[in-house]
Amino acid sequence: MTTAPFFTVNGTSVDLSPVPGSERLLDTLRWRLGLKGTKEGCRTGDCGACTVLVDRASVLSCLTLAHEVAGSEVTTIEGLAAEDVGARIVQSFADEGASQCGYCTPGFVMALASLLHERGAAGDLAEFEEDLQGNLCRCTGYVSIRRASQRAREAVR
């Protein structure tokens, strides 16, 4: 007897058996689970708007099939807000006015959270900025996002 594949999203177990094998994680999160904080931007993995954490690592959900995360812990922007690191990053973005339209913000927050989980505040700002280059913003010009990233790094020290 085989058991149905499951994964955990923001602490809740999700049965993957009704999910077609070709369904992207992004679609499962947004349309099956109603977690609309994860955005679809480019569908090609170039913008970072769909970034989620899979076992605390940054993953582009538009390029990941839902079944590929079976047995894993997935964290979306909704779940990250409940964590201390997530709350500090969100507060840093608010304090620095680091979002205008807000569409890219969840992806930036998730990517930054992955970096802070991975290495804490270690490394210099240039390394963090380089690691965040996979996330694109069409509104802010990045200055406020840089300031928010620095503020978040300082907040977790």
Q: Which fold has domain 80-155?
A: DNA polymerase; domain 1 (1.10.150)
pLDDT the model gives residue 10: 97
pLDDT the model gives residue 1: 47
pLDDT the model gives residue 131: 80
Domain 6-76: CATH superfamily, name plus number: Beta-grasp domain (3.10.20.30)
Q: Would you put residue 20 in left (φ > 0), alpha (ψ -120 to 50) or beta?
A: beta
pLDDT the model gives residue 134: 86
Q: Which residues lie across from 52 on neighbouring strands?
A: 59
Are the folds of 6-76 and 80-155 the same? no
Q: Kind of pairing, strands 51-54 and 57-60? A: antiparallel
- Rounded-to-integer distance, Cα 88 and Cα 6, Å: 30
Contact 38, 31 (CB under 8 A): no
Provide the residue ranges of all domains of the chain, joining segments of one domain with +. 6-76, 80-155
Contact 60, 50 (CB under 8 A): yes
For each successive 10 residues of the chain (157 residues), what is the average pLDDT? 80 94 97 96 94 96 97 97 90 90 92 86 73 85 86 84
Contact 116, 76 (CB under 8 A): no
Contact 65, 54 (CB under 8 A): no
DSSP for 14-50, written as a single string: EE-TTS-TT-BHHHIIIIIS--TTSPPS-SSSSS-TT
- Rounded-to-integer distance, Cα 47 and Cα 70, Å: 25
